[in-house]
Amino acid sequence: MSEPATRAPQALNFHKMNGLGNEIVVVDLRSSTTQITPADVRAVAASPRSHFDQMMVLCPPRTAGTVAFVTIFNTDGSESAACGNGTRCIAWLESQKTGRPNLRFETMAGLLDVAVESIDRITVDMGEPRFAWNEIPLSEPFHDTRGIELQIGPIDAPILHSPSVVNVGNPHAIFWVDDVDAHDLARFGPLLENHPIFPERANISLAQVRSRSDIKLRVWERGTGLTQACGTAACAAAVTAMRKKLVDRTVAVHLPGGVLSVTWTEGNRILMTGPVEWEYEDRWTRSPAATGT
């Protein structure tokens, strides 16, 4: 974690939301000195009532003009630098609370500007994609990250091969296939996520280009597993497809949970637009036996 962890409170209030089925728990600690430990994260994720793909923890702002510094956790207690679906969720909550349509958050990936039009249309400026091998990062140099040497299966007849790689706040590898449903991503995902070529692990996607404006996507998310939707993966698939000249500068990315619109601007910014859903507010009670590890 970015700062030393302290013992969490016995009770933790949270909002349960989702972005296209990507399960999000939001915890607001801006008025608290408490920090959440990895053990807390795993315990909250294990509870059926509060299960999540990502936990978005709002901490006091570190930079002037920002709403909060956001720490993002995966279900296994590891941290992520970015979460597009989760960012839309926290922006909608903050907009409902303050009435402000334009908001700025800070994460480990940098500053994120969000425009809230409605619960069904929220746009996040996800920043600039990073394509250099050492920015992703990879464990060895590759001159052209539009397709690196990595495959699953026999060398003369690989099942998956030559993924595009990019960092959009976290590392992504996108395998281009004719049919995303024809491959056992639950089987290959863990192997690829933890492949030695990815020193910080990676999100693994299967992408099927269906037209110049349409991509179908399935995602194995780092630290979480198969997910209904992943905003950063949608952005990663879109910009790498654009870089390979397979699609136009704005595409609809179809995930199991729904559709996101992704635009890669001439100014090198990635704009992701989609809905969120608020489910309920609840409280998680911390076990007295829980530890901070």
pLDDT digits (tens, 9 = 90+) for 154-175: 888 899 999 999 999 999 999 9
C-alpha–C-alpha distance, residues 75 and 149, integer Å: 30
Classify residue 71: in a domain, yes or no.
Answer: yes
193: domain CATH number is 3.10.310.10
* CB-based contacts of 266, cutoff 8 Å, min separation 6: 249
Query: Do 164 and 102 have their domain in common?
Result: no
Convert the pLDDT of each residue in 217-263 to its tens digit.
Answer: 999 999 999 999 999 999 999 999 999 999 999 999 999 999 999 99
Residue 122 in domain: no
State the SS3 of the chain. CCCCCCCCCCEEEEEEEEECCEEEEEEECCCCCCCCCHHHHHHHHHCCCCCCCEEEEEECCCCCCCCCEEEEEECCCCEECCCHHHHHHHHHHHHHHHCCCEEEEEECCEEEEEEEEECCEEEEECCCCECCCCCCCCCCCCCCCCCCCCEECCCCCCCEECCEEEECCCEEEEEECCCHHHCCHHHHHHHHHCCCCCCCCCEEEEEEEEECCEEEEEEEECCCEEECCCHHHHHHHHHHHHHCCCCCCEEEEEECCEEEEEEECCCCCEEEEECCEEEEEEEEECCCCCCCC
Confidence of residue 10 (pLDDT cuts 50, 70, 90): low
The answer as to whether 173 is a domain residue is yes
pLDDT for 251 equals: 98
Let me know if residue 47 belongs to a domain. yes
Asked if 108 and 167 sit in the same domain, the reply is no
Q: Does 290 have pLDDT greater than 60?
A: no
Task: List pLDDT tens digits, range 100-155.
Answer: 999 999 999 999 999 999 999 999 999 999 999 999 999 999 999 999 999 998 88
Q: Tell whether 53 and 160 lie within a shared domain.
A: no
Judge if 87 and 177 occupy the same domain.
Answer: no
User: Would you say residue 55 lies in a domain?
Assistant: yes
pTM of the model as a whole: 0.90
Query: Residue 264 CB: number of other CB atoms within 10 A?
Result: 24
In a domain, 58, yes or no: yes
Q: How confident is the model at residue 5 (pLDDT cuts 50, 70, 90)?
A: very low
| pLDDT tens figures, 56-100 | 999 999 999 999 999 999 999 999 999 999 999 999 999 999 999
Domain identity same for 35 and 113: yes
Burial of 251 (0-12, 13-18, 19+ CB in 10 A): buried
Which of the four pLDDT bands, split at 50, 70 and 90, describes residue 8? very low
Per-residue pLDDT reduced to its tens digit, 21-68: 999 999 999 998 777 899 999 999 998 889 999 999 999 999 999 999
* Mean pLDDT, rounded, for 255-284: 96
Cβ contact 247:215 at 8 Å: yes
Q: Is residue 5 part of a domain?
A: no
Q: What whole-number distance in Å separates Cα of residue 45 and Cα of residue 258?
A: 23
Cβ 21 vs Cβ 228: under 8 Å:
yes
| Residue 98 and residue 169 in one domain | no
Q: Is residue 81 part of a domain?
A: yes
Count up the domains in the chain and report the number.
Answer: 2
Give every CB contact of residue 132 below 8 A, 6+ residues apart in sequence. 145
Q: By residue range, what is the domain housing residue 72?
A: 11-117+276-285
Instruction: Give the pLDDT band of residue 292 (cuts 50, 70, 90).
Output: low
The residues assigned a catalytic role are: 83, 230
- Considering the domain architecture, whether residues 69 and 89 belong to the same structural domain is answered as yes
Instruction: Assess whether 92 and 45 both reside in one domain.
Output: yes
At residue 28, the pLDDT reads 96
pLDDT value for 33: 77
Query: Does 9 score more than 50 pLDDT?
Result: no
